[in-house]
Amino acid sequence: TQLLEQSPQFLSIQEGENLTVYCNSSSVFSSLQWYRQEPGEGPVLLVTVVTGGEVKKLKRLTFQFGDARKDSSLHITAAQPGDTGLYLCAGVYNFNKFYFGSGTKLNVKP
């Protein structure tokens, strides 16, 4: 059983569409991170959210941390083929222990 559940597991959309990825848990985290991983490479950190209810924007990506610090969402506006990859959320305990979600594999078709 995963500590962090991500949904959907797979997402295939056309360029220009919007999408939302969810990361849910019954546990409270000190912070939550989102990573993107491309084939043959390690995950790369996109953002860290710390405060309940926090919203952060990174160009077309919007990240939100739930009020209770148990869940998070990632919204992509006008997706582009370059957004293709595996998106991972990671809950952080005590600022030094990381639990990763199962991942959402996104494919954006031109």
Partner 1 sequence: DAGVIQSPRHEVTEMGQEVTLRCKPISGHNSLFWYRQTMMRGLELLIYFNNNVPIDDSGMPEDRFSAKMPNASFSTLKIQPSEPRDSAVYFCASTLNADTQYFGPGTRLTVL
CB of 13 to partner 1, least distance (A): 22
Residue 48 within binding range of partner 1, rule CB under 8 A: yes
Q: x/- string (CB under 8 A) for partner 1, residues 86-105?
A: --x---x--xxxxxxxxx--
Q: How many CA atoms lie within 13 A of 95 on its CB side?
A: 1
Neighbouring residues of 68: CB distance < 8 A, sequence distance ≥ 6 = 28, 52
Choose, by CB under 8 A, the member of 16, 17, 28, 45 that binds partner 1: 45
Q: Which of 6, 1, 2, 3 minimizes the C-alpha distance to 72?
A: 6
Binding site for partner 1 (CB under 8 A): 2, 33, 40-45, 48, 88, 92, 95-103
